[in-house]
Amino acid sequence: MDTAEIRRRFLDHFESNGHTVVPSASLLLDDPNLLFVNAGMVPFKPYFLGQETPPYKRATSVQKCVRTQDIEEVGKTTRHGTFFQMNGNFSFGDYFKEGAIELAWSLVTGSVEDGGLGFDPERVWVTVLPSDQEARGFWKSVAGLPDERIQDRGLEDNYWHMGVPGPGGPCSEIYIDRGAEYGPDGGPVVDEDRFLEIWNLVFMQEELSQVRSKADFDVAGPLPSKNIDTGMGLERVAYLLQGKQNMYEIDQVFPVIERASALSGKRYGAVHEDDVRFRVIADHVRSGLMLIGDGVTPGNEGRGYVLRRLLRRAVRSMRLLGYEDPALPELLPVSRDEMSRSYPEIASDFARISQVAYAEEEAFRQTLAKGTQIFDLAADSAKAQGATVLTGDKAFQLHDTYGFPIDLTLEMASEQGLAVDEPGFRALMAEQRARAKADAKSKKGRHADTRIYRDALDTFGPTEWLAYERLSTESQVRSIIQESGRTPAVGESQIAEVVLDRTPFYAESGGQNADAGVLVWDGGRAEVLDVQRPVRGLVVHQVRVLDGELTEGTALQADVDPQWRVGACQAHSGTHVVHAALREVLGPTALQSGSYNRPGYLRLDFGWSSALSPEQLREVELAANVALREDLPVSAAVMPLERAKELGALALFGETYGEDVRVVEIGGPWSRELCGGTHVSRSSQIGTVVLTSDSSVGAGNRRVEAVVGLEGFSYLARERDLVAQVSDLLKVQHDDVPGRVADLVGRLRTAEKEMEKLRGAQLLSSAGDLAAGAAEVDGVAYVGHVADGLAAKDVRTLALDVRGRLDASRPGVVAMIGTADGKAACVVAVNDAGRAAGLAAGDLIKAAMESLGGRGGGKADVAQGGGTEVTAAPQAVEAVRRAIQGAV
Q: Which residues are annotated as a binding site for Zn(2+)?
A: 572, 576, 675, 679
Where are any strands of DSSP class E within 410-523?
419-420, 464-465, 472-482, 485-486, 489-490, 495-500, 502-503, 517-521
DSSP output for 177-199: E--GGGS-SS-TTT-TTTEEEEE
Partnered with residue 830 across adjacent β-strands are 813
Burial (CB < 10 A; 0-12, 13-18, 19+), residue 594, is middle
Report the DSSP beta bridge partners of residue 152: 128
Q: Which of 81, 46, 38, 45 is nearest to 63 (CA)?
A: 38
SS3 of residue 425 by DSSP: helix
Q: What is the rounded radius of gyration, in angstroms, for the C-alpha atoms of the chain?
A: 34
Residues in the annotated binding site: 572, 576, 675, 679
Round to whole Å and give the CA distance between 819 and 786: 8
DSSP state of 77: B
Q: How far apart are CA 749 and CA 413, in angstroms?
A: 45
CA distance 664 to 660: 13
How far apart CA 833 and CA 840 sit, in angstroms, is 11
Q: Which whole-number Å values give the CA distances from 48 to 45, 92, 208, 221, in the listed order?
A: 5, 8, 13, 15
Helix (H) or strand (E) holding 200: strand 195-211
Question: In 3-state terms, what secondary structure has residue 427?
Answer: helix
Which 3 state secondary structure label does DSSP give 175?
Answer: strand
DSSP 510: T
Using CA atoms, how far residue 341 sits from 251, 352, 589, 810, in Å, is: 11, 18, 21, 78
First to last CA, the chain: 80
Say if CB 63 and CB 37 are below 8 A apart: yes
Question: Where is 632: in which H helix or E strand?
Answer: none
Q: Residue 636, class by beta-carbon neighbours within 10 Å (0-12 exposed, 13-18 middle, 19+ buried)?
A: middle
Query: E strands within 337-427?
Result: 389-390, 419-420
